Every structure is written in C-alpha cells, then in structure tokens.
Amino acid sequence: MGLLVVGSIAYDTIETPFDKIDDALGGSSTYISIAASFFTAPIHLVGIVGSDFKQEHKSLLAEKNIDLDGLEIVENEQTFRWGGKYHYDLNVRDTLFTHLNAFQNFNPIIPAKYRKDKFVVLGNIEPKLQLKVLEQMDKPEFVICDTMNLWIETAREDLDKVISKSDVLIINDSEARLLAKEPNLIRAARKIKSLGPKYLIIKKGEHGALLFNESQIFSAPAYPLESIFDPTGAGDSFAGGFAGFLHQTGDLSFDNIKKAVIFGSTIASYTVEKFSLQRLMEITKLDIKDRFHEFKELSRFDYE
C-alpha cells in the first residue's frame, strides 16, 4: 500500500538576498512527495495543476516513483503560482503574490486504488479539503497533518476537526503559539495535544524541532549549515522525510518516531542548500545516511 500525499503543486517565484528564480517547481505536496521518495514507494500524489504544467515535471515526479493517477489537469487554466521574498534574516519571508489559478477549484477526489492507504500526509491546504480527504479514506492508520497561520486564523473550526483526526500535527513555533494562544512552547504543546493528536512536532527553523507524545519530549538538533540559500519547502520536506521513513519501516514506536524526526530534519537541511527542489534532485540515499549519522553525533555525549 502507498503513502497518500495531498497538497499544493505550484510554480514558485522566489527572491532571496542572493538570487532570484521564476516559476520553479514547488508546492507543499511536491516537496513532501519528493522527500518521501528517498525512503518509500509508491507515493500516491493527489493534487491539481493547469494545462501549463510541464511534461518534464511530470516525468521528474514519475521517475521518483510518484504515482500521478491522482493528478488533475485543468484545461485552459494555469498552475498555482506563489511568490515569496526572503530578508537577510532568512526566517523572515514576505508573500509577494498568491495566484490560485487551477488550485482555486481543488476538490480532492481520492482514486479508488488509493483509498486503502494506511498512511496519509495532509499537506498545507484548506482544512475543509483535508477533512474531505479523510472522509474518503477506508481506514487510515496514521495521519500526518500540516497547516499554516492562514488556516489557524480563518478556518479554526475545521482545523480543529482535522487535528482531532490526526496522529501527528507538524507546525512551526509561531504557528504553535498562535494555535494555542500561549507564548511558552511547552505549555502551548500541552494545549495543542489536548485537541487530539497523539504526537506534536514543533519545528524551530535553524534551532531544530521538538517532538511531544503524551508524556515525553524529544529535542532534535538542527544541522549547523553555513549557508542557507532558500528556505522554501523546508517544512514540507521535513514532513515528507518523516512520513516516508515511517511508512517504509512501519514501526510506530516512539523510538522510531524520533528517528523519523531526524530523517525529516536531514532532508530539510538539504532542501535549503539550493533553490526549489534542485538540491533534492542531486542527493542520494547515501548522502542522507551520512548526514543522519552526523546528526547523531551532534548531540551525543557520555556521562561517567
């Protein structure tokens, strides 16, 4: 059975203090799927694009064992376009434009052969669409959910329903504070867990990530990168690596979920080294394994 991934597919225009790129392949489900493809197959992608979506990008996804039967192509419509500009502090990003185009009418229909999938990754889309995806699934066993500030502020009721049906919620620190209306992350995490998810992951950008279950906290370091080129898609790549590793191993113990957090962090650390998906298209499974071991060494210490 496959790993179901639902989210946006986009052409991104990105400006950083170092360079600019137009119409680069992006979108939450694109990053999630490609990151997950390093660990598992098949990946069942459900998304929507316009008729301008390039054949080379369909081939790129197919080469990564990403099944495209759930990709809807709308004739005479354009693919979702998103523009973002980063400041010198790369944690600060302005959205320059959001042209929904074909994405505006996204109504995710899950192909029959995907409905039995046990692992579901709900990329960042409107919570009512995330709910619609879950309603169509037979009996998902592990649901991983991502979201963003916009939905916390504008679709709270539906978002709470999605969170209550999710096993893992992955958000960043500012989203956690907003969701819980609580500045302290530990207290915020307690409040968010009371909404229902078994696990909560709070990403802290260049400061790593925190994983919470009902009683324990695991603190994952961030990889000390000297040059971060483009942070776009780091969060989605984290979710993809995390989900792909768990899907491949099928082991949902807390110890294995900790390893999945490190694999997610590993993939995200590669994503930010170049524009768009460029770095993920270069690296190999061996690169991932090597950096995973470097992560292990980063916070290992002995005590006599």
CA distance 191 to 183: 12
Question: Which member of 26, 127, 205, 244 binds ligand AMP (CB under 6 A)?
Answer: 26
Rounded CA-CA distance 239/209 in Å is 12
Q: Is 241 in the site for ligand AMP (CB under 6 A)?
A: no
Q: Reduced to 3 states, what is the DSSP secondary structure of residue 244? A: helix
* Measured distance CA(249)–CA(114) in Å, rounded: 19
How far from 67 is each of 2, 3, 119, 279, CA to CA, in Å?
9, 10, 15, 22
Which of 50, 83, 235, 244 forms a contact with ligand AMP (CB under 6 A)? 235
Task: List the one residue out of 24, 29, 2 whose CA is nearest residue 12.
Answer: 24
Which H helix or E strand runs over 48? strand 43-50
Q: How many residues line the site for ligand AMP (CB under 6 A)? A: 15
CA dist., res. 163 & res. 135, Å (int): 14
Strand partners, 122: 6, 145
Tell me the residue nearest to ligand AMP as measured from the CB. Answer: 26
Q: Does 232 bind ligand AMP (CB under 6 A)?
A: yes
Single out the segment in contact with ligand AMP by CB under 6 A; choices: 5-13, 251-259, 282-290, 296-304: 5-13
Q: Which region, judged by CB under 6 A, interacts with ligand AMP, from 47-55, 206-214, 228-236, 291-299? A: 228-236
Of the pair 125, 210, the CB lying nearest ligand AMP is at: 125
Whole-number minimum distance, CB 41 to ligand AMP, in Å? Answer: 23
Q: Does 264 bind ligand AMP (CB under 6 A)?
A: no
* C-beta separation of 4 from 73 below 8 A: no
- Give min distance, CB of 51 to ligand AMP, in A: 18
Minimum CB–partner distance for residue 3 and ligand AMP (Å): 18
Among 236, 242, 264, 272, binds ligand AMP (CB under 6 A): 236
Give the C-alpha separation, 279 to 269, whole Å. Answer: 10
* 108 near ligand AMP, rule: CB under 6 A: no
If the CB atoms of residues 86 and 245 are measured against ligand AMP, the closer one turns out to be 86
197 binds ligand AMP (CB under 6 A): no
Q: Which of 10, 122, 162, 189 forms a contact with ligand AMP (CB under 6 A)? A: 10
Residue with Cβ nearer ligand AMP (27 or 264): 27
Buried b (16+ CB within 10 A) or exposed e, 240-278: bbbbbbbbbeeebeeeebebbbbbbbbbbbbbbbbbbbe
Extract the tokens encoding 197: 């998810």
Contacting residue, 3, 4, 13, 28, with ligand AMP by CB under 6 A: 28
172 part of the interface to ligand AMP, by CB under 6 A: no
C-alpha distances out from residue 13 to 28, 94, 253, Å: 14, 12, 40
- In the complex, what is the shortest distance from the CB of residue 232 to ligand AMP, in angstroms, rounded to a whole number? 4
**What is the smallest separation between the CB atom of 123 and ligand AMP, expressed in angstroms?**
7
Maximum separation of any 2 CA atoms in the chain, in Å: 68
x/- site string to ligand AMP, residues 81 to 100, per CB under 6 A?
Answer: -x---------------x--
Q: Return residues touching ligand AMP (CB under 6 A).
A: 8, 10, 12, 26-28, 82, 98, 124-125, 232-236
